[in-house]
Amino acid sequence: MEVKPAFWIGFTVFILILLILDLYVFHKKDTVIKVKEALLWSAFWIGLALLFNIGIYIFYDHTRAIEFFTAYVLEESLSIDNLFVFIMIFKFFNIKSEYQHRILFWGILGAIVMRALFIFAGVALIERFAWVMYIFGAFLIYTGIHMLFEKKEKEEFDPNKKFIIRVFRKIMRVTDDMSVPHFFVRKNNLLYATPFFVVLLFIEASDLIFAVDSIPAVLSVSKDIFIVFTSNIFAILGLRSLYFALNGIIDYFYYLKYALAGILTFIGIKMCVNELTSELNYSFHISNYTSLGVIIAFLAVSILLSIVKKKSLEQKA
């Protein structure tokens, strides 16, 4: 069942309206977003995604509805790891809390465009070259195992040492002046980028890197471009409020890295196994119901263990 152009147009217009309302109505002024407000906004975006999911179930296809929900949960869980990078970069550049939402807004707008390009390219590749699924699967397995054994201290985090930031500083003047929350300022008739833009650039670059993992993972759930695209967009739209909520309850994600490593490894194995059994005409198939159960189980166990860890540290203190 193909999605009519009207649905694509309607969805795009709907998202644009939400973005405009978010920036120019709901968050017109630069204010500090508290954890309670962030949790309410997170509930709003999640609720919106679930309503859309129900719409797919009623008006589109029951199987596609399961694919959307699984892809949405997968993308949302993988995005949490990206939020830890946002927290570190805002702290590194000393970006005030009231300015973080605006930077994240433009960062996520750029992420939507990049994700769209990745998704259309990924689906086109799979449709033309089915063996690409093996490459995607192997890459996810490698990423999951590498994440599991990776040991990197937060103290090592220095965005200024990253290649993209070093190149940008060579081709563009960058001022340390943060008195005005603009991306660019003029001094003596010369254009300078501010640390706000450097942060935005780094956020875009980090999302590009994370998309390399998340898009192949979501493509293991569905090859329906409408499902993959819409689930990704809804997950990305909730990232800003999720960031501010996560910033207040970060201690409950102590073991998240291990959960994400397990999820990526499982999804990679699923992609390879399902593609192989399909070629060999075997009936064995790892379903999206199984995937959804594994994803939720990994996340639930990691959060429970993190809670135990937090209480143990509190008792020792």
pLDDT of residue 70: 92
SS3 3: coil
**Euclidean distance between CA atoms 12 and 277, whole angstroms:** 37
Whether 163 maps to a domain, the answer reads yes
According to the model, what pLDDT value does residue 135 have? 87
Query: CA-to-CA distance for 306 and 55, rounded, in angstroms?
Result: 35
- The answer to whether the CB of 104 falls within 8 A of the CB of 86 is yes
Residue 229 lies in a domain: yes
Query: Quick one: how far is CA 253 from the chain centroid?
Result: 16
* Predicted TM-score (pTM) of this structure: 0.81
Domain count of the chain? Answer: 1
Full domain range(s) for residue 232: 5-249
Residue 54: its pLDDT value, please?
A: 94
Q: What is the pLDDT of residue 53?
A: 93
Residue 17 lies in a domain: yes
Residue 89, in any domain of the structure: yes
Domain assignment of residue 262, yes or no: no
pLDDT of residue 238: 81
What does each of the 317 residues of the chain score in pLDDT, given as a tens digit?
Answer: 567 777 788 888 888 888 887 766 666 666 667 778 888 888 888 999 999 999 988 888 888 899 999 999 988 888 777 777 787 788 888 888 788 878 888 888 888 888 888 888 888 888 787 778 888 889 889 888 888 887 655 456 677 777 888 888 888 898 888 877 888 988 888 899 998 999 998 888 888 877 877 888 888 888 888 898 899 889 888 887 787 777 666 666 778 888 888 888 998 899 899 888 888 888 788 888 888 898 899 988 988 888 888 788 777 76
Residue 48: inside a domain: yes
Tokens of 268: 């990679």
Query: Is 260 contained in some domain?
Result: no
Q: Is residue 273 part of a domain?
A: no
